[in-house]
């Protein structure tokens, strides 16, 4: 494990663990004044019980994005990919397809689109930032066209009242998350492929000299990302009562990227860990919860969230500025 994680990643993870514990303490302190000790503990338990379900889509998407970022690429289109998932789910539902088929559509749509991003990066030789920036706009448009063409009488949103269509997002989200996170961490610690992704992000020319097939490596990372985003998309869509592709998951990519970076993954590739990403998502989720309990002013919450992200990353960067400068000049 220690071989796979660089010192900055381990340090960031230590920060996040300490920060998450501090945030839990803040939440508990906020619950205490209006309740007895037992009542506060019980309410804290409720907050913790709902945590896996609420953060499952973001965490799965973040794990998928981590693999992509390791290779030195990025995917800015994940919010729009979720909108396409919502659109195909709505199409399936409106044609009375079996729920399992609807969930499979979500998985395939997300996997297919993220893999398409990888293929476009390879075929066109354009940076991933550009391809996925284009995807951010294009996939949102695709989702809107799909629901307009494929859902009879669509008037901006579609309500899904049947509970059976919401089982994965409501009842199984925690278990699916647990399994997916476990698989990702075991994959990272035991398999060669994640190391090669990190190597690709660290130095593409060194990998080429070593004889590695770079395009295939990059596409495999996008496929992995697509699989995890597909799972996240399925949970996200099946947790919504109303499907509105125009507004669905708007800004989702930003909070996912923030969590990945917060988890110690280098945004330029070559460094990071899935466990760090998991802690990054958890920290951001707990921070949002703490702000809900600690701040009555709903308008100030976003400012505090931004300040918190900047504070953690800025403090970490300023501590290692000297090292970074020396590396740059070597």
Partner 1 sequence: MRALVLLILLVLELALFASVSGADVSTPGGIFDYLELKFQDLIPGLAPVLVLSVGMTLVLVTAGIDLSVGSMLALVAAVMSCFDGGMSFWLTAVPLGLLVGVGLGLFNGALVARLDVPPIVATLGTMIFYRGLCQVVMRDAERAPFFDVPGYEWLGGFSGSLVLLVLVVGLGGWCWSCSRWRRELLLVGGNRVAARYAGVPLDRRLLQTYALMGALAWLAAICFTARNGAVNASTASGLELKVIVAVVLGGTRVEGGRGSVLGSVLGAFLVAVLDDGLREAKGWSDEHLAFEISHLRYLLLGLLLVAGVWLNTRFGHRDST
Residue 314: exposure state from Cβ atoms within 10 A (0-12, 13-18, ≥19): exposed
CB of 206 to partner 1, least distance (A): 19
Q: Rule CB under 8 A: say whether 326 interacts with partner 1.
A: no
321 binds partner 1 (CB under 8 A): yes
Rounded to whole angstroms, how far apart are CA atoms 251 and 272?
Answer: 23
User: Shortest gap between Cβ of 321 and partner 1 (angstroms)?
Assistant: 5
Q: Which is nearer to partner 1, 83 or 219 (CB)?
A: 83
CB of 185 to partner 1, least distance (A): 24
Length of the chain measured in residues: 330
Residue 42 interacts with partner 1 (CB under 8 A)?
A: no
- The two three-digit tokens of residue 254, written as one number: 């930003």
65 HSE (CA, 13 A, CB side): 36
Which string of x and - marks every residue 133-152 that binds partner 1 (by CB under 8 A)?
Answer: xxxxxxxxxx-xx--xx---
Stretch binding partner 1 (CB under 8 A), from 3-11, 30-38, 131-139, 192-200 = 131-139
Q: How far apart are CA 140 and CA 301, in angstroms?
A: 27
The burial of 236, by beta-carbon neighbours within 10 Å (0-12 exposed, 13-18 middle, 19 or more buried), is given as buried
Least Å distance between CB 42 and partner 1? 32
Selected binder of partner 1 within 33, 34, 38, 125 (CB under 8 A)? 125
Per-residue x/- mask for partner 1, residues 240 to 259, rule CB under 8 A?
Answer: --------------x--xx-
Q: Which of residues 142-201 bind partner 1 (CB under 8 A)?
A: 142, 144-145, 148-149
324 to 248, 260, 327: CA distances (angstroms): 39, 20, 5
Which CB, 39 or 127, lies closer to partner 1?
127
CA–CA gap between residue 61 and residue 260 (Å, rounded): 10
- Alpha helical stretches, state H, 125-213: 128-150, 167, 173-190, 193-202, 204-209
37 sits near partner 1 (criterion: CB under 8 A): no
Q: What are phi and psi of 133, to 5 degrees?
A: -65, -40
Under 8 Å CB-to-CB from 137, ≥6 apart: which residues?
80
294 is a contact residue toward partner 1 (CB under 8 A): no
> Taking CB under 8 A as the rule, does residue 297 contact partner 1?
yes
**Least Å distance between CB 198 and partner 1?**
17
Spatial neighbors of 13 by CB under 8 A, at least 6 apart, are: 5, 263, 264, 273, 275, 276, 279
Q: Are 16 and 263 in contact (CB under 8 A)?
A: yes
Near partner 1 by CB under 8 A: residue from 176, 261, 275, 278: 261
Quick check: 48 binds partner 1 (CB under 8 A)?
no
Does 7 bind partner 1 (CB under 8 A)? Our answer is no
| Best CA proximity match to 61, nearest among 280, 292, 216 | 280
Q: How far is the CB of 2 from partner 1 (least distance, A)?
A: 25
Site for partner 1 in 85-124 (CB under 8 A): 120, 124
Answer yes or no: are the C-beta atoms of 285 and 58 closer than 8 Å: yes
- Shortest spacing between CB 3 and partner 1, in angstroms: 25
Q: Write out the residues near partner 1 by the rule CB under 8 A.
A: 120, 124-127, 129-131, 133-142, 144-145, 148-149, 254, 257-258, 261, 267-268, 297, 299-307, 309-310, 313-314, 317-318, 321, 324-325, 328-329
């Amino acid at each position: 494990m220690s071989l796979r994680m660089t010192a900055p990643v381990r340090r960031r993870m230590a920060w996040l663990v300490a920060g998450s514990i501090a945030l839990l303490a803040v939440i508990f302190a906020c619950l205490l004044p209006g309740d007895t000790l037992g009542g506060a503990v019980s309410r804290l338990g409720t907050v913790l019980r709902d945590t896996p379900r609420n953060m499952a889509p973001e965490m799965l998407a973040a794990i998928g994005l981590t693999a992509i970022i390791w290779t030195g690429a990025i995917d800015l289109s994940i919010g729009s990919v979720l909108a396409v998932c919502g659109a195909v789910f709505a199409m399936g539902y409106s044609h009375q397809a079996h729920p399992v088929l609807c969930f499979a559509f979500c998985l395939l749509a997300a996997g297919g689109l993220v893999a398409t991003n990888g293929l476009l990066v390879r075929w066109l030789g354009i940076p991933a930032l550009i391809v996925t920036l284009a995807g951010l706009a294009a996939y949102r448009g695709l989702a809107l066209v799909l629901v307009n063409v494929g859902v009879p009488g669509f008037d901006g949103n579609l309500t899904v009242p049947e509970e059976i269509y919401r089982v994965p997002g409501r009842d199984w989200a925690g278990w699916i998350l647990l399994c997916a996170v476990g698989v990702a961490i075991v994959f990272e610690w035991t398999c060669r492929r994640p190391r090669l992704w990190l190597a690709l992000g660290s130095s593409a020319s060194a990998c080429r000299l070593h004889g590695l097939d770079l395009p295939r490596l990059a596409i495999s990372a996008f496929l992995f990302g697509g699989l995890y985003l597909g799972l996240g998309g399925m949970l996200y869509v099946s947790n919504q009562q109303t499907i509105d592709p125009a507004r669905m998951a708007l800004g989702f990519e930003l909070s996912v990227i923030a969590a990945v970076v917060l988890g110690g993954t280098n945004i330029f590739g070559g460094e990071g860990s899935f466990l760090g990403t998991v802690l990054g998502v958890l920290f951001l989720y707990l921070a949002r919860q703490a702000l809900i309990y600690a701040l009555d002013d709903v308008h100030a919450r976003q400012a505090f969230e931004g300040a918190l992200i900047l504070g953690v990353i800025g403090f970490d960067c300023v501590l290692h500025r000297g090292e970074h400068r020396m590396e740059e000049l070597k």
